[in-house]
Amino acid sequence: MDFSRRFLCEGDNLGYTGLHGAAYFGCVEITVALLKMKEWDVQATDLHGNTALTWAARMGHEGVVKILLERNDINPDTANRRGQTPLSWAAREKYEGIMRILLQRNDVNPNTADIYRDTPLLWAARGGNEGIVRALLERNDVNPNTANIYGNTPLSCAAEHGYEGIVRLLLERSDVNPNTASRWGRTPLSWAAESGYEGIVRLLLERSDTSPDTADSWGRTPLLWASRGGYNRVLSMLPGQDADPNTPDEDGQTALLWAARKGHEGVVRILLERNGVNRDTADRQGRTPLSWAAGYGQEGIVRILLERNDVNPSTVDEDGRTPLLWAKWNGHERIANLLQGRTDFVSSYRAILQPTELFSTKSSEPSEPPFKRIRRS
């Protein structure tokens, strides 16, 4: 049953009045007539705590909002049971005209948060409405750093969704903290780096108080996120900011290892040019960038890594698997030949695979080869 039918059939039970109905449907003439007919309680709420003004703002009926705000007995900041005010609904639904009308009132609090601690500014930033964000920031009493229950601020929401104009507006304010982290440790820079939003990354790094190397709850820094996503240009912005390329995540995987695993040749080249990058760091499984590249058939990356004298082509992981074993088992014969062509390749590891065991299982994901477990002392 749609709202109109339910309203007509169950209005009394749900607390809806005729004024609620007129506000919901945006009937200006009916609203005026009802208000002239008798003395209405304009603050009357329905079952969910919504006033007529809340419904008018929520549905985008600017004319009804103006009429209701002419009443002296109206509270324009009444929140429903979920803590949502007319202002927060206007921000959420992107009704800029209604927002500006409400913000002209001194008795409207622009920082009122709902039960999830989402403020009107946070709703506007998350929704990408630059005009509403600008209108809210024009109020001197707006707090631009309020975080919701997940720790997300207006800046982090805008950065996560790629709204560069809103990020710019927020960063123009000196009282905006560019480093506020979410419950999972994600900063605005972390979100922007993960999705490759170059403009937002640049804006954040232009702020001298931005921390470029903050790791989240998974141990992933902005540099690691950019490497994982293959965003060369974002990555090139981060090295000059003292971001450590060798910082591993919770699985022991570094930026170079992620780039090799995902097949991002450009990122691998950028990282290898950096001083201090460890080219042979193994993760918790004992697998190096070369091991992952060989297993996933990333021939270009294997070639790049094998050009380095400090990359060991015969490193054994926890289960005794070498890069050659991974390449052979997944049918990457060209990579196998490249590995065996290195003069420092340790031939004794070839015994791990017998000739009868060499066959291809080509697929989108490399399969697990048989192994001879080697315990480390």
CA separation, residue 262 to residues 19, 91, 211, 268 (Å): 59, 39, 26, 10
In sequence order, the 6+-apart residues with CB closer than 8 A to the CB of 174 are none
Residue 14: the pLDDT is: 73
Residue 350: the pLDDT is: 44
pLDDT band at 3 (very low <50, low <70, confident <90, very high): low
The CATH number of domain 1-109, selected from 2.60.120.620, 3.30.390.50, 1.25.40.20, 1.10.1660.10: 1.25.40.20
Euclidean distance between the first and the last CA atom of the chain, given in angstroms as a whole number: 70
CA angle 127, 97, 21 (to 5 degrees): 95
Domain 279-377 part of CATH 1.20.1260.10? no
Residue 239: the pLDDT is: 63
Q: Is residue 44 over pLDDT 80?
A: yes
Q: Is residue 373 over pLDDT 70?
A: no
**Which has the closest alpha carbon to 90: 53, 35, 139?**
53
Please write the tens of the pLDDT for every residue from 355-368: 334 444 444 567 76
Q: Is residue 1 over pLDDT 90?
A: no
Q: What is the distance between the alpha carbons of residues 333 and 118, in angstroms, rounded to a whole number?
A: 55
CA separation, residue 344 to residues 134, 309, 340, 348 (Å): 62, 9, 9, 12
Q: Is residue 256 over pLDDT 60?
A: yes
Please write the tens of the pLDDT for every residue from 194-225: 999 999 999 999 999 999 999 999 999 999 99
Please write the tens of the pLDDT for every residue from 180-194: 999 999 999 999 999
Backbone angles phi, psi at 276, to 5 degrees: 90, 0
Amino acid identity at 185 = G
- Contact between residue 77 and residue 45 where contact means Cβ atoms under 8 Å apart: no
Please write the tens of the pLDDT for every residue from 105-164: 999 999 999 999 999 999 999 999 999 999 999 999 999 999 999 999 999 999 999 999
Average pLDDT, the chain: 89
Residue 370: the pLDDT is: 59
Q: Is residue 169 over pLDDT 60?
A: yes
- Summarize the confidence of residues 242-257 as an average pLDDT: 88
* Tokens, residue 347: 């031939």
CB-facing half-sphere around the CA of 307: CA atoms within 13 A: 9
Residue 16: the pLDDT is: 85
Q: Is residue 376 over pLDDT 50?
A: no
What pTM did the predictor assign? 0.87
Q: What is the distance between the alpha carbons of residues 286 and 126, in angstroms, rounded to a whole number?
A: 41
* Tokens, residue 294: 């060989």
Q: Is residue 348 over pLDDT 60?
A: no
pLDDT band at 374 (very low <50, low <70, confident <90, very high): very low
CA separation, residue 172 to residues 103, 206, 267 (Å): 21, 11, 31
Residue 216: the pLDDT is: 97
Q: Give the domain ranges of the chain.
A: 1-109, 279-377
Please write the tens of the pLDDT for every residue from 263-294: 999 999 999 998 889 999 999 999 999 999 99
Please write the tens of the pLDDT for every residue from 302-342: 999 999 989 999 999 999 999 999 999 999 999 999 999 98
In sequence order, the 6+-apart residues with CB closer than 8 A to the CB of 170 are 125, 133, 137, 144, 154, 155, 158, 176
